[in-house]
Structure 1
Amino acid sequence: MSVITFTSDYGLVDHRVASVKGSILTLKEEVTIVDISHQIQAYNLLQTAYIVRNSYSYFPKGTVHIISVDSFFNKERKSILYKADGHYFIAADNGVLSLIFYDIKPEDVYEITFNNRFDDQVSFTSTDIFAPVAVHLQNGGLPEVIGRKYKTPKQLSFPRAVFNESEKLLIGEIMYIDNFGNVVSNITQKFFEKTAIGFESFLVKFRNLALSKIYNQYTDLVPDWKIEHEFHGKAAAVFNDAGLLELTIYKGNGENGAKTLFGLQVGEKIIIEFA
């Protein structure tokens, strides 16, 4: 099966998403195009990285992933191709791929060069460059035909949680807010468990609030499903399916979830205090 995924910050009102899909289908009718998201905030690379990183591995090996975020054509900016974890990723050289693969070394990185001689005719990167490259790869074409090895793609630093040993504080920050208003931090379960060795207790602190327990999954908040309704609106900390510490309101949503009720924003600190 030929699969191409498509992620963008184009939204769903304008023509751009349809234009890219039409370009792909014109070149290859027998292909499955899967939308990951088109509701990413404009130019938000960290949000893009979180969404793509946590979805791409569910697709078959050999899938081609088009990432059209902060990708409008500029002669001074390259388009690049990552081959990583058995998949292909096409994006502008804006650092987004380094955020997705901050802990995985890509097998190969290519600067896409096949369309360089037509720069004056390129008006929309996703239709004029990304779409034909994706189809070329799904037709079994070699990356070397459309690009050359590239050693210096733009690198962005993924925000990492740190442990202040003298003050016994694990310090992280909010990196993503989902559709339910859940607030996702950059504190991994693995780092937390390693840091917690030797301590008897902890507090998850944010703003002027604190929680003394972290659940392993969202549904663990409800010990008895006969009275499940009584837990609606309960605040909790959980390790989500990406293995990251998340603040949540049980059965919350974008209007009354953790983001709204706690008044939290991306970039704010979350601290775990050990004792």
Structure 2
Amino acid sequence: MGKQAKQSLLAPLLLLVTIVNGYAQNGALVFQTDFGVKEGAVAAMKGVAYGVSRDIRFFDLTHEIPAYNIWEAAYRLQQTLPYWPEGTVFVSVVDPGVGSERKSVVAKTRSGHFIVTPDNGTLTLLADAIGIDSLRRIDETRNRLKGSSESYTFHGRDVYAYTGARLAAGVIRYDEVGPALPPNVVRIPYQAAQYQNGSFTGNIPVLDVQYGNVWTNIPLGLLRENGLQYGDQVEVNITVDNKLVYKGVMPFATTFSAVAPGKPVAYVNSLLNFSFGINQGNFASQHKVSSGSLWKVTVTKKPKP
């Protein structure tokens, strides 16, 4: 029997052993960083992981998080994690406090996913949207790349990629990551979606960067529950740190083509959240709008004439 055939037969057996022994991981490892791909940091992380196991399946969420932008790392995890199978391990490294006293952790979500990350706010939105089932601090005496103890500024390679790979491959169980912590992760304050006094209020977590559309965290369900319908006119107010950046009226429609080119329109994006943009234009650039925890939007339905 050839080597490839033996591996094909062995894979289901390894999966069965993993399940019987209480491992919940599925062998998939997803990386997210703010490193970019112009140099070798990402390749070094994957090399470490590949050295742990040749059977891990590697995937990239993104390596283009803006430098030090913990908030966007939090958003991208919330945006993508629900589409991955239970047991997937994520390694998310946006770590401006590398080498400081911030905790290195592995979180298990209530959906059964694992995130290896600094506990610096990266878990904020997952904690709210899905919930953190449990949290463990990485024991670096057991879960750190051999020979890296004198390296203090590349925990993404030495601690997170190494631990994530060991977890994904079933080399360690979740309870072997390190000591349990209360599942009270560090959170970044932001405006949660709500309806009050005739207005919807929410946060601008991210921009649809390619086109300059503005995405909010106000869900379609909240809009429908409170009477906003396609064809209505809405007033949109945008503030950052309580300073008004934009105020305008636009239709709430299903498609951009509901308005003429160059005109603003509100719509529901692919995540089923309230959003707005300019037909064949760039709303964010034209009105100097950005995103993050300090950006807030208020939407009010205008009375019909």
- Which residue in 2 is equivalent to 1:63? 88
Q: Please tell me whether the aligned partners of residues 102 and 158 of structure 1 are also in contact (alpha carbons under 8 angstroms).
A: no
106, 128, 133: which one aligns with 2:163: 133
Task: Give the Cα–Cα distance (whole angstroms) in 1 for the partners of residues 123 and 181 of structure 2.
Answer: 13
Give the CA deviation at 1:3.
Answer: 1.1
After superposition, what is the alpha-carbon deviation per residue over 1:194-252, rounded to whole angstroms, capped at 9, x for unaligned?
23379x9551324242113242xxxx3347xxxxxx96545321111222211123445
In the alignment, structure 1 residue 156 sits paired with structure 2 residue 207: no
- Which residue in 2 is equivalent to 1:265? 290
- Per mean C-alpha deviation after superposition, the further-off stretch among 61-70 and 257-266 is 257-266
SS of the equivalent of 1:272 reads strand
Q: TM-score, normalised by structure 1?
A: 0.82
Alpha carbons of 1:121 and 1:26: their partners in 2 closer, same or farther (altered >3 Å)?
same
Q: Please tell me whether the aligned partners of residues 202 and 297 of structure 2 are also in contact (alpha carbons under 8 angstroms).
A: yes
Q: Please tell me whether the aligned partners of residues 115 and 129 of structure 1 are also in contact (alpha carbons under 8 angstroms).
A: no
Task: Give the Cα–Cα distance (whole angstroms) in 2 for the partners of residues 73 and 20 of structure 1.
Answer: 16
- Which residue in 2 is equivalent to 1:227? none
- Per mean C-alpha deviation after superposition, the further-off stretch among 13-22 and 172-181 is 172-181
- Which residue in 2 is equivalent to 1:143? 174
State the identity %: 22
Return 5+ residue gaps in structure 2 as ranges: 1-25, 238-245
**Equivalent residues in 2 for 1:57-206 (5 A)?**
57-70=82-95, 73-84=98-109, 85-115=111-141, 120-123=149-152, 124-140=154-170, 141-151=172-182, 152-165=184-197, 168-180=198-210, 181-196=212-227, 202-206=233-237
Q: Please tell me whether the aligned partners of residues 73 and 122 of structure 1 are also in contact (alpha carbons under 8 angstroms).
A: no
SS of the equivalent of 2:48 reads helix
Q: Please tell me whether the aligned partners of residues 214 and 284 of structure 2 are also in contact (alpha carbons under 8 angstroms).
A: yes
Give the CA deviation at 1:104.
Answer: 2.4
- Which residue in 1 is equivalent to 2:268? 239
After superposition, what is the alpha-carbon deviation per residue over 1:82-141, rounded to whole angstroms, capped at 9, x for unaligned?
111121111101021122221322222111114389795343111111122112212222
Task: Give the Cα–Cα distance (whole angstroms) in 1 for the partners of residues 214 and 100 of structure 2.
Answer: 37
Alpha carbons of 1:247 and 1:171: their partners in 2 closer, same or farther (altered >3 Å)?
same
Alpha carbons of 1:35 and 1:251: their partners in 2 closer, same or farther (altered >3 Å)?
farther
Count of residue pairs the alignment pairs up = 258
- Which residue in 1 is equivalent to 2:77? 52
Task: Give the Cα–Cα distance (whole angstroms) in 1 for the partners of residues 113 and 232 of structure 2.
Answer: 42
Task: Give the Cα–Cα distance (whole angstroms) in 2 for the partners of residues 136 and 125 of structure 1.
Answer: 15
Q: Please tell me whether the aligned partners of residues 7 and 37 of structure 1 are also in contact (alpha carbons under 8 angstroms).
A: yes
Q: Please tell me whether the aligned partners of residues 162 and 170 of structure 1 are also in contact (alpha carbons under 8 angstroms).
A: yes
Task: Give the Cα–Cα distance (whole angstroms) in 1 for the partners of residues 203 and 165 of structure 2.
Answer: 39
In the alignment, structure 1 residue 13 sits paired with structure 2 residue 38: yes
Task: Give the Cα–Cα distance (whole angstroms) in 1 for the partners of residues 97 and 187 of structure 2.
Answer: 19
SS of the equivalent of 2:179 reads strand
Q: What value does the CA root-mean-square deviation take over the aligned residues?
A: 2.7
- Per mean C-alpha deviation after superposition, the further-off stretch among 55-64 and 203-212 is 203-212
Task: Give the Cα–Cα distance (whole angstroms) in 1 for the partners of residues 75 and 235 of structure 2.
Answer: 22
